[in-house]
Structure 1
Amino acid sequence: MEPVGLELKTSGQTEFMVDMKCEGCVSSVKNKLLNLEVGVKKVDVDLNNQVVRVLGSSSVKAMLDGMEQTGRRARLIGQGIPEGPHVVAPQISRFQPLWPNSRPSCLGIVRLVQVNMELARIEASFSGLTPGKHGWAINEFGDLTRGVASTGKVFNPGDQATSEEPLGDLGTLDADGNGEAQFSSSKRTLRVADLIGRSIAVYETEGKSSTGVAAAVIARSAGVGENYKKLCTCDGLTIWESR
């Protein structure tokens, strides 16, 4: 695994809906993003649609935190590569307590984006974990009927079978004293398009054979330019009421 932001080739485009009212809002948001420590190469703002497009490799969390520090609400609406032959829509996994005996307080979200044909970017945010290290991995199946136990082995396609570490091994999450964990890295040879319908599992300890505490199915998420709606027709919530 490689830390995101160390290589320019991990750059992609990320789109946010930001609650902006005027050119002053635009300047404030743009300046904040351009002054993040690493990773932001270009910022475009569409005030009419309240959309901010960021080109670079900074983490989603860092960008969201930065924009919200300006006093404006911001929501992620899309990720991907806007041009080129290797465009792959991002994938997302949302962790919620959906099966019996799952840890009721464990919530999280994982985003996977193909930045080029040889490199995938992975970002995750969790809460409700026990403090300490937790192994996590992409597993073969998206079957959550028995939680982590029914998700199969760590994903490892045939062309990776001789590798010491399975391709789907994501290493460890380090939960702080509040049970929160953040993760931002990249992984070579991982093809995001091959992961739809599989699962991501989090374990009680660093070992991938220990008791599983949470799992979620990997599904397609919105790509660049695909999600400008501000009202969800499913539940009637506005984008600012959702998280």
Structure 2
Amino acid sequence: MRRFEFLIATSCEAPSIESLNELLLGKGNIKSYDHLNGLVIFETLQTASTVESILKKRFSKVKLVGQSSESLIQAAGVAIIGGNKAKGIVRLLEDENGLNIEGTVSGLEKGSYSVSINEYGDISNACLSTGNPVSKASEETPCGILGQVESDGSIDTKFSLNSGRLSIMECIGRSLVLQNETKKIACGIVGRSPGVSENNKKICACDGTVIWEEQAFGPYAVAPPSET
């Protein structure tokens, strides 16, 4: 079971618990709700992007600000990735089923891309300095390769992967890389993501302007342009 804390920004009129439950239609259970600050905690088996998309049907601004699971490992990770054209956000959360990876990336051309955790949390020379996918002794396929993503060339490519070969603590501090058959397309350093009720950023009570990093990555470290 996963727990997600969302900030719901409205025009100063907070939704009711009843209206949120009706909107979710069985996709999650509300564990707590802070009407004053617009913070609501859901417990669900769904992915964060599924809950977010449901909420966005009703509210203009919705932001995931914390995540955790029932796993003994409560850490979660996030990577803001960038390249020549591609940019996006990828979140990592470990639960009883392994490492769950959710991403939204814009600017990808149609094709297949591998998603990997690479050796070094170093983007000083763009994606070239991230090293190779993490590998353990005697592995035929590096455990750092998390899976494949198919893009149809749409504005946003959304993906959800699962891997039982790496723990969240083996990812934090390293780099997350998207690569096609010939080169690394986008990358970013995996940082620790706030857990539920750990994000204490100050926000505007009406629209939460300063916390919407998917809309403007400004305060976050984006990888410099990758090699051409």
TM-score normalised by length of structure 2: 0.81
Question: Cα deviation per residue 1:95-138 (whole Å; 9 max; x = unaligned)?
Answer: 134xxxxx1x211111111214x611111111101111112211
| 2:8/2:59 contact within 8 Å kept | no
| 2:115/2:146 contact within 8 Å kept | yes
* Residues in 1 aligned to 2:119 and 2:98: alpha-carbon distance in whole angstroms: 20
Residue type matched to 1:119 in 2? G
User: What does residue range 193-232 of structure 1 map to in structure 2 within 5 Å?
Assistant: 193-205=169-181, 210-231=182-203
1:43 matched to 2:22? The reply is no
Give the CA deviation at 1:169: 0.5
Among all aligned residue pairs of Structure 1 and Structure 2, give the percentage whose two residues are the same amino acid: 29
Give the CA deviation at 1:203: 1.3
* Residues in 2 aligned to 1:24 and 1:146: alpha-carbon distance in whole angstroms: 46
Q: CA RMSD in A?
A: 2.5
Residue type matched to 1:191 in 2? S
Runs (4 or more) in structure 1 with deviation over 6 Å come to: none
Aligned to 2:98: 119
User: What does residue range 1-243 of structure 1 map to in structure 2 within 5 Å?
Assistant: 11-19=1-9, 25-36=16-27, 40=28, 42-44=29-31, 45-81=33-69, 86-97=72-83, 103=84, 105-116=85-96, 119-157=98-136, 161-178=137-154, 180-205=156-181, 210-231=182-203, 237-239=209-211, 243=215
Gap regions ≥5 residues in structure 2: 216-228
Distance 1:211 1:53, change over 3 A: same
Aligned length: 210
State the secondary structure of the residue aligned to 1:224.
coil
Distance 1:199 1:23, change over 3 A: closer
* Residues in 2 aligned to 1:135 and 1:241: alpha-carbon distance in whole angstroms: 24
Please state which structure has a larger fraction of its residues in helix: 1
* Residues in 1 aligned to 2:170 and 2:6: alpha-carbon distance in whole angstroms: 26
State the secondary structure of the residue aligned to 2:196.
coil
Distance 1:167 1:68, change over 3 A: same
State the secondary structure of the residue aligned to 2:23.
helix
State the secondary structure of the residue aligned to 1:200.
strand
TM-score normalised by length of structure 1: 0.76
| 2:110/2:151 contact within 8 Å kept | yes
Give the CA deviation at 1:242: 6.6
Please state which structure has a larger fraction of its residues in strand: 2
